[in-house]
Structure 1
Amino acid sequence: MALIKSLSMFSLVLALSFTFTFTHAARFDITNRCSYPVWPASLPSGGGRQLNSGETWSLDVAPGTVNARIWGRTNCNFDGSGRGHCGTGDCGGALQCQLSGAPPTTLAEFSLNQPNNLDFYDISVIDGFNIPMGFSATSNGCPSLRCPADKCPDAYLFPADNTKTKSCPSGTNYSIVFCP
């Protein structure tokens, strides 16, 4: 009887494990192809650093992250303690952003592992345009977005512009390129 209970419990646990989707962090490779330095920043994961032309910063973002954004800052000067100022996208004078960037900012926005196991992503220039940007999935054949100039057709131009959000299966990795 104990063996039957153990087998029944094992079968139940096994059956339940197949009903859950296992998710992994999404990797965002952020590359600067501009001829000038860009200081990318991200929220809510915090962070920020200088990327010279041709450099890439890889960032792992936890599944379930919502209302996240990555943007580039320009004309920045920081001291050794990480305090300073950026000409565009400044986040309260900090190298490691804990606040969203001040306009104008070209934004890569995303929410990971949402309903139906989908990631949702877009580019927004609602807060203005400061750097050309490309946002694409590195797998799964999902749509790529490009914003080479202000008022680009792939970007949100106003808040209710709902046709610009794209989706991709959760667990996808992404690439953000400044000056694609």
Structure 2
Amino acid sequence: MVNDSIITITPTNTTSSNNHQMVAFQDPDLPPIDKDDDEYEESFQRSRRKRILVIAVAALLVVGAAIGIVYAAAAPKDASQRSSLDVLVTNTTTTAAPAVLSDEVSVGGTIATTAEPTTEPTPEVTTLEPTPEPTPEMTTATPEPTTETPEPTTATPEPTTTQATTAAPTDAPTTAAPQLESVQVATPPPATTPKPAPVTPPPPPPTAAPTAAPTAAPAPPAPPAPAPIGGNVYRVVNGCAKAQDLIWRSTDLVDHTVNVAPWGSYDLNALDYGVGKNIVIRATANNDATLFEGFYNPAFDVVGGTGGSFWYDISVIPHDCGASWSKCSGSGVGYNAPLNVEIVGTQVGSCSSLYCGGVQCPAGFLVPNDNGKVHACPKGTSFIITFGCATR
């Protein structure tokens, strides 16, 4: 117990030597504080224990409610699974007529009897889970239960040798399932699963017809073998795959035109075009064209004793060109078709075959005074002059 008086310290205005003293008074008439009693402490502990118990009970109730909800949600599915697999039990010691049990299994695990007792107390029993039997393969699928257990889609086959055992009624409820003698489990015959009908494989896709290789374009016909040629001949050949005009003229400045088929030709006597009567041959009537130029000079022998020579050249000089290429380039182009000159006979000195395939071909005259491009062959030589396709 605490003393019956409390000492109170109160500042005063009593003057002292240093003005900093405190005066203590004892008040014997103040009542004691209840919280210091043992009775108050005990009351506080009791209320604390009550609160703890209330919290524990509330927690148990919440847990129990949760377990009940989970079990209630799972129970219909378990019951529907067991309802089609309930076992039938027989009693071999009784002479009473056999009774077929209902397909439903009671929650407490008790078995229905043929005799109805006058009073059927509801026993408080613990649920015994039956030994799980292998689920027979069913040909039809059992629908998922929602809130009620659906009726089984296939009826439970009735046993042929199994009899139900009649359990004697008990006056007092028991807390355990009754003991059964000689319990036999009737295994339902396995359901016959129909064999699936053979599936006819789809026919294979039709085989695509082989694609014929594209027919190659026919090659241009090979030039025919040249006809025999004698001496001193200008043979003019159309080396184009289409017909074109081949034109020649002499000093009379009169054009002579012949339309020649592909690889066709015509011959001219080279001795007819002597001094002062040279010959110029071209493809098409355009004046700016690739030219073959030649004439016969009986007074000059490339080879002694032959009686003369043929002078010839290829010219791609533009029409009305000046003395230099820079002047000629401004007045047009003198080339319009490739030209090949083949020598038939003895090639001596500058006597040789020529070819021009472009505007500034090395074998051709490019300007009027380009005299180094002139060639000479002895009398008796023949010339095969072949023009390609003219571009204008």
Shorter-normalised TM-score: what interval? Answer: 0.5 to 0.7
Which of the two has higher C-alpha Rg?
Answer: 2
Secondary structure at 1:42's aligned position in 2?
strand
**What secondary structure does 2:258 align onto?**
coil
Counterpart-to-counterpart distance in 2, 1:171 and 1:63: 14
| Distance apart, 1:33 and its partner CA | 1.4
Q: Does 1:119 align with 2:329?
A: no
Q: Is the 8 A contact 2:345 2:380 kept in 1?
A: no
Q: Which runs of 4+ in 1 moved over 3 A?
A: none
Query: Structure 1: any 5+ residue segments left out of the alignment?
Result: 1-23, 74-89, 91-101
Question: What root-mean-square deviation, in Å, do the aligned CA atoms of Structure 1 and Structure 2 show?
Answer: 2.3
Which one has more relative contact order, counting CA pairs under 8 Å at least 6 apart?
1
Aligned residue runs from structure 1 range 1-180, under 5 A:
26-44=232-250, 47-61=256-270, 62=272, 64-65=274-275, 66-73=277-284, 90=285, 102-114=286-298, 115-116=300-301, 117-127=308-318, 128-141=334-347, 142-179=351-388
Q: Which has the higher strand share?
A: 1
d(CA) in 1 for partners of 2:269, 2:256? 11
Unaligned runs of 5+ in 2: 1-229, 302-307, 319-333
| Range 105-114 or range 46-55, more displaced | 46-55
Is the CA contact (8 Å cut-off) linking 2:246 and 2:260 kept in structure 1? Answer: yes
Alpha-carbon spacing, 1:54–1:25, altered in 2? closer, same or farther (3 Å) = closer
Q: Deviations along 1:65-117, whole A, 9 cap, x unmatched?
A: 543211111xxxxxxxxxxxxxxxx2xxxxxxxxxxx4221000011134232
Using the alignment, how far apart are the partners of 2:388 and 2:282 within structure 1?
12
Post-superposition offset of 1:25:
7.8
Residue aligned with 2:381, SS: coil
Number of aligned positions between the proteins: 130
1:64: how far off?
A: 2.0
Contact 1:25/1:63 (8 A) holds in 2: no
Q: TM-score, normalised by structure 1?
A: 0.65
| Contact residue 37 and residue 53 of structure 1 kept, 8 A | yes
Identical amino acids, percent of aligned pairs: 28
Give me the whole-angstrom Cα distance separating, in 2, the residues matched to 1:113 and 1:39.
29
TM-score using structure 2 length: 0.31
Amino acid in structure 2 at the alignment position of 1:139: G
Alignment correspondent of 2:214: none
